[in-house]
Amino acid sequence: MRRAVASPDAPQPLGPYSAAVLSGNLLFVSGQVPVDPATGAVVGTDITAQTEQVMRNIGALLKAAGLGYEHVVKMTVFLADLNDFTAMNACYGRFLADPPPARATVQVSRLPRDVKIEIDAIASLPHA
């Protein structure tokens, strides 16, 4: 069984994919970019503002599935410039529960809408 998960507090997908998909006991959150769900506009010009918006978007999708950051087991961070790593990390860390999830961070040549960051996530539902 799988079902799409969406939230009015997270941006609508930019293409033919779901913002998040619940399958079994896992929630797969598609890569989120720093878009304000109310306006559809890219938020901020610096990595801190953009990271904060991305994390809020992911948080909204987690909440729509009845989860929170304490349920996230893996994240992947895509940066347009790896020189933004330290500033991104400082903002990113404020959202996480302890212990933090596993993570990979990579620099990419370009991201949708020429943003500085995109993050995807995998969360595990608590055992019933």
Determine the pLDDT at residue 128.
55
Place 17 in a pLDDT band, splitting at 50, 70 and 90.
very high
Determine the pLDDT at residue 2.
93
CA 39, 118, 115, 88 torsion: positive or negative?
positive
The residue extents of the domains of the chain are: 2-124
User: Phi and psi (nearest 5°) for 22?
Assistant: -95, 120
* Mean pLDDT of the region 68-82: 98
State how far the Cα of 88 lies from the Cα of 77, in Å rounded to an integer: 9
Domain at 2-124, CATH class: alpha beta
pTM above 0.95, yes or no: yes
In SS3 terms, the chain reads as: CEEEECCCCCCCCCCCCCCEEEECCEEEEEEECCECCCCCCECCCCHHHHHHHHHHHHHHHHHHCCCCHHHEEEEEEEECCHHHHHHHHHHHHCCCCCCCCEEEEEECCCCHHHCCEEEEEEEECCCC
Task: Kindly report, residue by residue over 39-67, the tens digit of the pLDDT.
Answer: 999 999 999 999 999 999 999 999 999 99
| Longest pairwise C-alpha distance within the chain | 42
Determine the pLDDT at residue 68.
97
User: Which is higher by pLDDT, 15 or 72?
Assistant: 72
